[in-house]
Each structure stands twice: as C-alpha cells, then as structure tokens.
Amino acid sequence: MRRAVGPLLGLALLLLPLTAIEPRAWLTLTVAGLAMGMLIFLVAAGLSLIFGLMDVLNFAHGALFAWGAYAGFTVILLVNGRWGWAASPSVLANAGLLLLAVAGAAVVAFVLGIALERVIVRPVYGQHLFQILITLGATIVLEELIRIVWGPNDQVMPVPTAFQGSWDVADVVVLRFPVLAIGLGVLVYAGMRWLLGRTRVGLIVRAGVENSEMVQVMGHDIHRYFTGVFAAGSALAGLGGLMWGMFNQSIRPSMGGEQLIFAFIVVIIGGLGSVTGSLVGALLVGLSYNYVAYLVPKAAIGVTMAIMVLVLLVRPTGLFGSGK
Amino acid sequence: MADLLELEGVHTDIGQHHILQGVSLRVRPDAVTVLLGRNGAGKTTTMRTIMGVLRPRRGAVRFDGRPIHELPPHAIARLGIGYVPEGQGIFATLTVEENLRVAMLAETADSRERMRDVLALFPDLERYRQARAGTLSGGQKQMLAIGRALVNPARLLLIDEPSKGLAPIVVEHLIGALQAMKRHATVVLVEQNFSMASRLGDECYVMDDGRTVHAGPMAALAADQTLKRKYLGI
C-alpha cells in the first residue's frame, strides 16, 4: 500500500492542472513537459552520479552540454553537406543522421570529460571550494573555445525532416521531436538502471556512491571508476545538449549555463547519486514549468524553485537520496 | 619464520596533527597480533596507514618483505590484505549478498564458494541475504563486515574493534568466528575489550600517544597487573 502512495500522488499532481487547463492544451503541455523533463534528466543524471560518487561539484557540466550540442551540430552540417540526409524524404537517412550526431556529441563530451577529470578535477578531490573555482574556470575556457571555433552568435540547428512537425492525434497537436526526446530519455534511464543494477561495474559504482574509501580498501581502483563515471556523465550532458539544441532548433555558446541551473535543482530534488531521483525530479520540473508557464508565464521559474525548497524542507536529502 | 608485516618508525599526520610518532611493529605469520591502547593512542590510524588510506610521512611499511607504504589502497588490498574497519563500513543501501559480492576482487567460482562458506559460518547473513544491509542489527552488521573480508583469499586480516557496541552474547559468537578465521589467515586485531583480546591474541603491542610502548606475548601482558594498569588503566 505504501509503495503505491508515490505513484498515486504523482498521478494526482499530473492531473491537477486539468482543473485550470482545457484537456487538449493539457495533453500538448504534458508532452512538452515530459520532453523537457527527459532532456533535463540527461544532464542531471550525469551530474548526480558525479556528485554522488565523486563528491565533485562540477560546474563545467554545462559547458560539456554546449560542446555536445556544437559537436552534433558539426556532424549534421558535415554529413548533410555531403549527402543531404537532413532534408531527405527517407526516414532511414534522417535517423542515420540523428544517430551520427548523437554519437559525435557523446564521443566529444566523453573525451572532454576524461581530460577534465584527469587534468583539473583529480587534483582537487575533497576540496569543494577549489572544485567550484576550477570548474567555473574550465567553463569559461570551454565556452570561449566554442566562440573561437564556431563564432559568438546563435546557430540554427538543422533537424532532420522526419522529426520536424507534428502528429494530429484526435485533434490534439503532438510535436514529433518531443516524443523522440521522451523515447530517448526512457532508453537512457533503462540503460542506466540496467548498468547500475545488473552489472558488476554498477554494483561497485553504487557502493562507491555510499563509501568510496571502503570500495578502495576492497581492492577496486576507485579512480578508474571515477574517470569512467565522469566521462559517462559528460557524454550524457553532451547528448542532452544536442537534443536540447534540436528541441529549440538553436544553439549558442552560453546555453549550458542556463541548463545547469535546472540540472542542479533536479539533483537536489531527486537526491544525490540516485538515477531514479534524477528522473522523477526532472519530470517534476519539466511538467510544472510547462503548466505554470501556460497559466502564469512569469511564475514558471519561481514554481520550480518553490518545489526545490519544499522538498528540502520535507526531505533534506532529496526524494530518493540515501542521506550521504 | 620471516615476519609477514613490518612497520618501521612510521610517522603519520592527519591534517595538521602528528598522530603516529614512530610506530614500529612486527607481525609473524599464523599468529594473532593484538594492538591495545587507550582511545586516541593511534591504533586505528596505524591500521589505516597499513591499508594505504593514510600515507606515512616517514618510515616504512613492509608486507612479506616488500615496501607497500607508497602503494594505493586498492593495490595493497590486492596483495592479500583484508580490512574490517572500525564502524564496519558496510554499504547500507546494498543487500547483504551485494555487500559480499562487491568485496570480491573478481566474481569467480572460487569467490562464490567462499561466499557460501561465509553464509554457512554466519547463518543470520544467509537468512537476510536479500535484505538491505542497513536494516541489520549491530551484531549482524559486524558479521557482514567480517564476512566481506573472507570472500577473498586473504593472507593478512586487519580487524579494527570488532566488539565495539555489541552485546556480550554477540561478542561470544564473534570470538568463535574469529577463532575460525585464525586458521586461514594471519590476523592483526585492534580491540578495547581486554577479555576478548586476551582470548584471541598470541602477540600484543600496546600503543600510547602514537608510539608502540610495549611488545610481547599476550599471555605475559594478561598476567602483568602493573603493565595493564600503566598502559591500559585496567
């Protein structure tokens, strides 16, 4: 019975806006909110694991988000320039282009993540103030590098035709790209749950989130796991950046900073080191933001902050935090 | 027979504090060596220094004749040194079985066989195999902490205050388990419970203010009221 309370409460909160919003608009907003939530989840899940396992406050996570977006953007430009896959009527060509862009974004962010962890994060383990300063410094450097390579202005992100436009489902407009984003988010969540819950690497990472010193004295090289988690978290941020760029059809060098605020709110709401917490927190933020933005546009961010404050008051470790 | 573990003039700092101020000790194989001393004498710091969690500023730690004081903790563990820390260090959100599995250096048929032996040695752990370790009682958590050190073929086991906070009946069970462990590995035991220490120990070192101030057979210390009063206050 107690296990059903959470889902029932979630369902009640989901349906609550129906009292003020007309059903068709509610459905459109719900799809947009779920998509926004899933995209924030991609960024927040990595951030949460990095914070939970390594106790590292990584403010450069937002810059990796932007680098992922620009790397994917470059892949799309190159492939599209050569074969014209973005405007192709073939769904296969569109999907192939998207997969190449996803791979490009994830690989670039993964490699940057390894470099950041090895060069600037490793010397400041356990020193939060230095972590904040050095990762903020890295953010400035990485953003300036984007301006040097791609220019300071906004860029229009091409979206393959198969993922543009909308479906009309019983007179309700359902945008295609948000549905794709929701699907990708579900896939990533399932993959992370499998990796953390069903594999030995995941078992060691979960143990490390709780007590990294103990994992080390058991014979596991925690620094290898740290690097792996940091790089995987960075790849997720890069993937999130690409998808966010496609969602808005626009990218800019400072886009990561804006998203990082949402990601930190989600990590605090969900609880450090919890993937499920990140998902629930991200959906809560995505949905509430969209509903409130429709009803009282100026209060959208305020409500997100209010949810965070409320969760902190009721459960300071976050909804799914272990209390580390 | 050559010593399995040797500490020579080890100095260790924690932050600005100079905790170990020249600890020297030798652990012979197939014996239980007990570290005794008042709170704050440096016993736990000695264990953490051996495991590489704290790096000594000066001095040497040798295992089987090989210097290990510059190795990282995971490399030291892989030499065959198991560690049961003070406060157990169990992973509360993992199940009992997951706690045992994470302690394995690799999940092999041999390590799974060892896990079955551990579960046979501690039937409570078998009963709560799929329960979260955080829900176990203090004694069961201690069994789990010791069990984790047994799933690998350890040559040396470092056990820090296993009886702390446990009921006398649980301590008796623990003594039985530790006596079984003596047959498989050399043990270094930090223990405040003198009765338990004297029942298990073959050799002993008494520490005071970050130094070893007495070394000798455990039986001799147990019989010497003057020394016990001077260093242990009992």
**Looking at this predicted complex, what is its ipTM?**
0.91
**Residue B73 and residue A203: Cβ atoms within 8 Å?**
no
Pair B62, B6: CB distance under 8 Å: yes
The answer on pLDDT for A41 being more than 60 is: yes
Between B229 and A145, residue with greater pLDDT: A145
> φ and ψ at B58, to 5 degrees?
-145, 160
Mean pLDDT of A253-267: 91
| Neighboring chain A residues of B74 at a CB cutoff of 8 Å | 216-222
> φ and ψ at B156, to 5 degrees?
-135, 135
Mean pLDDT of B217-223: 91
Residue of B93, B102, B107 lying closest to A218 (CB–CB): B102
- Residue A294: strand pairing partners: none
End-to-end C-alpha distance for chain B, whole angstroms = 34
Task: Give residue B232's pLDDT.
Answer: 78
* Nearest-angstrom CA–CA distance, A253 and A106: 17
Mean pLDDT of B165-185: 83
Residue in chain B closest to A274 (alpha carbons) equals B93
The answer on pLDDT for B140 being more than 60 is: yes
**Residue A217 and residue B78: Cβ atoms within 8 Å?**
no
The answer on pLDDT for B1 being more than 70 is: no
* Nearest-angstrom CA–CA distance, A254 and A265: 18
The answer on pLDDT for B189 being more than 70 is: yes
Average pLDDT along chain B: 92
Question: Could you tell me which of B211, B230, B232 has the C-alpha nearest to residue B42?
Answer: B211
Pair A216, A222: CB distance under 8 Å: yes
Contacts of A11 (CB under 8 A, 6+ apart): none
> φ and ψ at A4, to 5 degrees?
-85, -15
Residue in chain B closest to A204 (alpha carbons) equals B102
Q: Which of A53, A198, A213, A214 to mutate to test the interface with B (most CBs of B within 10 A)?
A: A214
The answer on pLDDT for A48 being more than 90 is: no
How far away is chain B from the Cα of A322, in angstroms, using its nearest Cα? 8
Contacts of A260 (CB under 8 A, 6+ apart): A43, A47, A59, A61, A62, A65
> What does DSSP assign to residue B132?
B
| Neighboring chain A residues of B52 at a CB cutoff of 8 Å | 217
**Residue A214 and residue B92: Cβ atoms within 8 Å?**
no
* Nearest-angstrom CA–CA distance, B146 and B160: 10
Q: Residues B83-98: pLDDT tens digits?
A: 999 888 899 999 999 9
Residue in chain B closest to A201 (alpha carbons) equals B102
Average pLDDT along chain A: 90
How far away is chain A from the Cα of B154, in angstroms, using its nearest Cα? 11
pLDDT band at B203 (very low <50, low <70, confident <90, very high): very high
The answer on pLDDT for B231 being more than 70 is: yes
| Neighboring chain A residues of B148 at a CB cutoff of 8 Å | 218
**Residue B91 and residue A211: Cβ atoms within 8 Å?**
yes
How many angstroms separate the Cα of A154 from the Cα of each of A60, A146, A177, B76? 20, 11, 20, 53
How far away is chain B from the Cα of A23, in angstroms, using its nearest Cα? 41
Cα B223 to the center of its chain, rounded Å: 24
As separate numbers, helices (DSSP H) first and strands (DSSP E) second, chain B gives: 10, 10
The answer on pLDDT for A324 being more than 60 is: no
Q: Residues A95-127: pLDDT tens digits?
A: 999 999 999 999 999 999 999 999 999 999 888
The answer on pLDDT for A152 being more than 80 is: yes
Q: Is B10 exposed, middle or buried (0-12, 13-18, 19+ CB in 10 A)?
A: buried
* Nearest-angstrom CA–CA distance, A151 and A252: 9
Residue of A200, A211, A221 lying closest to B74 (CB–CB): A221
The answer on pLDDT for A283 being more than 60 is: yes
3-state secondary structure of B35: strand
Contacts of B15 (CB under 8 A, 6+ apart): none
Task: Give residue A3's pLDDT.
Answer: 67
Residue of B72, B89, B152 lying closest to A211 (CB–CB): B89
Residue of A207, A219, A222 lying closest to B78 (CB–CB): A219
pTM of the complete model beyond 0.95: no
**Residue A204 and residue B93: Cβ atoms within 8 Å?**
no
A interface residues, B as partner, C-beta within 8 Å: 200, 203-204, 206-207, 210-211, 213-222, 322
| Neighboring chain B residues of A322 at a CB cutoff of 8 Å | 92-93
The answer on pLDDT for A268 being more than 80 is: yes
The answer on pLDDT for A235 being more than 70 is: yes
| Neighboring chain A residues of B93 at a CB cutoff of 8 Å | 206, 210, 322
Tokens 């014996």 belong to B31
Pair A277, A270: CB distance under 8 Å: yes
Question: Could you tell me which of A319, A323, A324, A321 has the C-alpha nearest to residue A10?
Answer: A319
Task: Give residue B178's pLDDT.
Answer: 85
The answer on pLDDT for A167 being more than 90 is: no
Residue of B83, B94, B99 lying closest to A217 (CB–CB): B83
pLDDT band at A49 (very low <50, low <70, confident <90, very high): confident
Residue of A200, A207, A218 lying closest to B107 (CB–CB): A200
| Neighboring chain B residues of A218 at a CB cutoff of 8 Å | 74, 77, 102-103, 105, 148
Q: Residues A173-218: pLDDT tens digits?
A: 888 999 999 999 999 999 999 998 999 999 999 898 888 899 999 9
Q: Which of B78, B79, B91, B148 to mutate to test the interface with A (most CBs of A within 10 A)?
A: B91
**Residue B91 and residue A204: Cβ atoms within 8 Å?**
no
Q: Among the listed ranges A270-279, B17-26, B51-60, B72-81, which one has the minimum average pLDDT value?
A: A270-279
pLDDT band at A1 (very low <50, low <70, confident <90, very high): low
